[in-house]
């Protein structure tokens, strides 16, 4: 079980639960075609963003296999929501989880995604006791692949045209890290 001790502070960021007051900022980047480009969903309407926010608010912990938590990533100095990172418990038996992240394009290129995802990897390995954490991305999403490589995750697979996304065949890349690799890098 992972019940985060909110707020979680890093050098420049705060990882916290989402709140109703995040709707405007969340919608501002969820509605951008360039953000949704490599995601499974299209740019969101305000109603879709509100529904997504409600789910995030109502699921602040990981209690069982299949659960996931999405952390709001806030800049400590400005208080601005800059993005989100998530962790999902895929399998109890296999001790596996999945990492994900979405950041507002206005805040990309500052290392915030790396700073926040390192903290989520720490929680997954050290608090939830996972054996393995994966990250998946559209094969065209070079920025996400580069981030996972900077995190120390290894590329394990490149599936060519393995699923239809938004009406077209898409490649998928899978990165992973084991608990022993996490310990070795810490």
CATH number at residue 60: 3.40.630.30
CA distances from 11 to 74, 174, 177 (A): 12, 28, 23
Tell me, what's the pLDDT at 51?
97
How large is the angle between the packed helices 112-122 and 142-150, nearest 10 degrees? 50
Domain encompassing residue 122: 8-185
Tell me, what's the pLDDT at 180?
97
Q: How many domains does the chain have?
A: 1
Angle at alpha carbon of residue 89, lines to 54 and 156, rounded to 5°: 120
Tell me, what's the pLDDT at 133?
98
Tell me, what's the pLDDT at 185?
87
- Cα-based torsion angle of the residue sequence 88, 144, 181, 5 in order, rounded to the nearest 10 degrees: -40
Decide if 25 is inside a domain. yes
The answer to whether 54 and 21 have CB atoms below 8 angstroms apart is: no
pLDDT > 70 in the chain, percent: 99
In the block, which residue shows the tokens 């699921």?
59
Whole-number mean pLDDT of the chain?
96
Mean pLDDT of the region 89-107? 97
Query: How many Cβ atoms from other residues are within 10 Å of residue 33's Cβ?
Result: 8
Decide if 2 is inside a domain. no
pTM beyond 0.85: yes
Cβ within 8 Å of residue 173, ≥6 positions away:
136, 137, 138, 139, 141, 145, 155, 157, 158, 159
Decide if 42 is inside a domain. yes
Decide if 71 is inside a domain. yes
Distance CA 123, CA 133 (A): 11
- Is residue 4 scored above 80 in pLDDT? yes
**What pLDDT band is residue 186 in, cutting at 50, 70 and 90?**
low
Q: Which of 36, 89, 42 is nearest to 61 (CA)?
A: 89
Decide if 177 is inside a domain. yes
The answer to whether 75 and 82 have CB atoms below 8 angstroms apart is: yes
Decide if 1 is inside a domain. no
pLDDT digits (tens, 9 = 90+) for 113-165: 999 999 999 999 999 999 999 999 999 999 999 999 999 999 999 999 999 99
Decide if 93 is inside a domain. yes
The answer to whether 37 and 163 have CB atoms below 8 angstroms apart is: no
Decide if 3 is inside a domain. no
Mean pLDDT of the region 157-175? 95
pLDDT digits (tens, 9 = 90+) for 54-78: 999 999 999 999 999 999 999 999 9
Distance CA 91, CA 110 (A): 33
Q: Is the four-CA dihedral 82, 154, 98, 170 of positive or negative sign?
A: positive
The answer to whether 18 and 57 have CB atoms below 8 angstroms apart is: yes
pLDDT > 90 in the chain, percent: 96
**What pLDDT band is residue 1 in, cutting at 50, 70 and 90?**
confident
């Amino acid at each position: 079980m992972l019940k985060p001790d909110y707020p979680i502070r890093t050098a420049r960021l705060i990882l916290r639960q989402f709140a109703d007051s995040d709707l405007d900022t969340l919608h501002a980047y969820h509605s951008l075609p360039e953000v949704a480009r490599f995601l499974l969903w299209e740019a969101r309407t305000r109603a879709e963003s509100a529904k997504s926010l409600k789910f995030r608010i109502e699921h602040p912990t990981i209690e069982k296999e299949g659960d996931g938590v999405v952390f709001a990533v806030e800049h400590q100095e400005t208080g601005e929501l800059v993005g989100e990172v998530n962790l999902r418990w895929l399998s109890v038996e296999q001790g596996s989880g999945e990492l994900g992240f979405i950041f507002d394009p206005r805040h990309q290129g500052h290392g915030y995604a790396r700073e926040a995802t390192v903290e989520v990897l720490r929680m997954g390995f050290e608090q939830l006791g996972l054996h393995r954490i994966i990250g998946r991305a559209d094969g065209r999403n070079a920025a996400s692949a580069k981030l996972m490589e900077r995190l120390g995750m290894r590329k394990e697979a490149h599936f060519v045209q393995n699923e239809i996304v938004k009406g077209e065949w898409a490649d998928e890349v899978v990165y992973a890290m084991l608990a022993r690799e996490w310990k070795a890098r810490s």
